[in-house]
Each structure stands twice: as C-alpha cells, then as structure tokens.
Amino acid sequence: MPRVSQDHLEARRHQILDGARVCFARYGYEGATVRRLEEATGLSRGAIFHHFRDKESLFLALAEDDAHRMADVVAREGLVQVMRDLLSTDGADWLGSRLELSRRLRTDPEFRARWAERSEQLTIATRQRLERQREAGNLRDDIDVAVLTSYLELVLEGLVSHLAMGLPADDLEPVLDLVESSVRRAGPKP
C-alpha cells in the first residue's frame, strides 16, 4: 500500500463530505443509505468508514463543517452577511443538511447531546463580532449583546427554514436591511 500523505487524507475527507452533503440533502438522513453514500461520493463504504466511524459521525462532521464555514464569514462580515450569502447563492445542499440537522435535533435526544458540544462556534463568533462592533460604536447600546446575538440567530434559523421550503426569496433583501438596521446604532448613516 502506498504511503498516504496528510494532504491526500484531507482531500479524501472533503470528497466524502461534499458527496455526503448532497446525499443527505436529497434523501434525508434515513434515506441516505450506504449504497447512496457510495454513489454520491464515488468511494467504497470501506473508504468512507475509514474516515468516519459511522453514518452519524459523518453527519455530525458535515454539520460541524457547515458551522465552521459560517463562523468564518461571521467573523469577517457578520451574521447578516451569512444570510445575504444564502439569498444570493443556490444554497440548496447546505439548506437540506441544515434542515435534516433540525429534524434530528428534535427527534433524537442522544444526537442532540452529541451536537450540543459542537454547535457553540457560530454563537461565539457572532457574539465576538457584535462586541467588536459595539466597541467601534456601530451597535445600538440599549440592548445586551447576548440578546442581539439570539435575535440574529433566530432570524437566520427562520431564513434557512424559509429557503428550504422553497418559498419565494426575492422580497427578502429589504427584510435583511431591516434586521441589520435594528441592531445598529440609530441615527444618520455615515
């Protein structure tokens, strides 16, 4: 067997995650059988489960990967930008896996416990971003940063749900403008 480099392992891992994302979005968690995961990733079950212990671990890694990418955008541009990105791109795969996540959290308490340890990073990134904005004087100062964080997360969750249901999104830009303005300091724009 050839010696497998770290880069190769990482590339393989991403290949699996990308295929699995499409597969979970299309068939749902239960419907994403091992055979379908093989088809979607172009890899054998042996290769897939060499990288991920089981289907649930693969699904968790996927959700964690999504959360990590969102946290990166939040740190640079804020959570409203994550929402704008969702509007401007065809985020169907990501949305599908996100809705499957919602559903499993609701129906499976054990899964919920496993996910709870990993779901904090988006909240932390959002709160830190808001704290920096407050220090810079851009944020309204009559409402706690924790409340503003929960507010933005709630709107994001609503947007995900809205898009995932295939509801029309062409009227949502001004809605996100309203969301953004309701966390900012009132007064004339710079």
Sites of contact with a copy of itself (CB under 8 A): 28, 95-96, 99, 102-103, 105-107, 109, 112, 143-144, 146-148, 150-151, 153-162, 164-167, 171-172, 174-175, 178-179, 182, 186
CB of 49 to a copy of itself, least distance (A): 26
Minimum Å gap between C-beta 65 and a copy of itself is: 19
Q: Nearer to a copy of itself by C-beta: 1 or 165?
A: 165
Which residue type does 128 have? Q
Q: Closest approach of Cβ 11 to a copy of itself, in Å?
A: 31
How is residue 48 written in tokens? 């897939």
Nearer to a copy of itself, 11 or 143 (CB): 143
DSSP for 48-68, please give it: HHHHSSSHHHHHHHHHHHHHH
Kindly tell me which of 43 and 163 has the beta carbon lying closer to a copy of itself: 163
Residues of 144-173 as b/e, b for ≥16 C-beta within 10 angstroms?
ebeebbeebeebbeebbebbbeeeeeeebe
Give dist(CA 69, CA 59) in Å, integer. Answer: 16
Least separation in angstroms between residue 69's CB and a copy of itself is 20
Determine how many CB atoms are found less than 10 A away from the CB of residue 33: 12
